[in-house]
A and B are shown apart, each in its own frame.
Chain A
Amino acid sequence: QVQLVQSGAEVKKPGASVKVSCKASGYTFSNHDINWVRQATGQGLEWMGWMNPNSGRTGYAQKFQGRITMTRNTSTSTAHLELSSLRSEDTAVYYCTRRQGGSRWFDPWGQGTLVTVSS
C-alpha cells in the first residue's frame, strides 16, 4: 500500500539545523509531488512547501524562504526537509504528504516527526 514513513524525533538547540526524512513506498516516487506541513502543539496546520521528486523543482512558503531546503534521493524514494536557523517557534510536528496529481489532494501523510527546539 502507499505509505510515507518519516524519520524519528529530533531535539535541536536554537540556531541549529534539522533534516527530516520521508521514505515513500507502494507507488512510483517520481510521479507525485511531496508537500511538507507542520503543526505546533495544539495548533493548526501550516503548509511549508512542495517538491517535485522527478525534477527536484521546489516551491516554498514565503515565511520560510531563506532557511528551508527540500531535496530528494530518487534511488531510495526518500524526500528530505531541512530547516535552518531554528528558533523555539519551530517546535512542531512535521508531516510529509503526497499530492495527488490531477485533483491536488494530499494523501497519504507520514506519521509525523516531532522537532523540539530548546536550549
Chain B
Amino acid sequence: DIVMTQTPLSLSVTPGQPASISCKSTQSLLHNDGKTYLYWYLQKPGQPPQLLIYEVSNRFSGVPDRFSGSGSGTDFTLRISRAEAEDVGVYYCMQTKEPPVTFGGGTKVEIK
C-alpha cells in the first residue's frame, strides 16, 4: 500500500499570513497515463471532506485562489497564501494512483 505522511500534525496561523502543509508518499504518484493522482481535501468541523485541489495543482470549482498545490513524484505541498478564518479544519492529502486509496493522517489548522 502507498503510505501518505503529512506534516505538520497541526498548525496555528495568523489571519492574513501564509501556511504550508507537506505530504509525502512512499511511492511515486505519477501514473503511466501521465497524470499524478494526488488530491487535497479540507474537512471543516462536522462536515464531510471537500475537494480543494486535484492532480497536484488544479483548484477545484469554487476554491479560492489563495489555495495552491505543488509537487511531483513523492513530495507535495499545499499552500494557503493568506489564511482566513474560514480555512479552519483538518486538511488531508489523498492518492488514487492505485488501490487501496490512501489518505494522509491529516493536518489540523487553527486560525489565531
Contact = CB atoms under 8 A, between A and B. Distances in A.
Q: What interface size band does chain B fall in?
A: 20 to 34
Given A95-B48, A111-B48, A105 B103 contact: no
Q: What interface size band does chain A fall in?
A: 20 to 34
A59 B99 contact: yes
A108 B55 CA distance: 17
| Chain A binding surface SS class | strand
Contacts of B60: 105, 107
B102 A47 contact: yes
B100 interface: yes
Nearest to B48: A109
B23 interface: no
B63 to A, nearest CB: 11
Contacts of B96: 99, 104-106
Given A104-B37, A105-B60, A111-B48, A44 B54 contact: no
12 contacts: A45-B43, A45-B92, A46-B103, A47-B102, A61-B99, A62-B100, A104-B96, A105-B39, A106-B49, A106-B94, A108-B48, A109-B49
Interface of B: 35, 37, 39, 43, 48-51, 54-55, 60, 92, 94, 96, 99-106
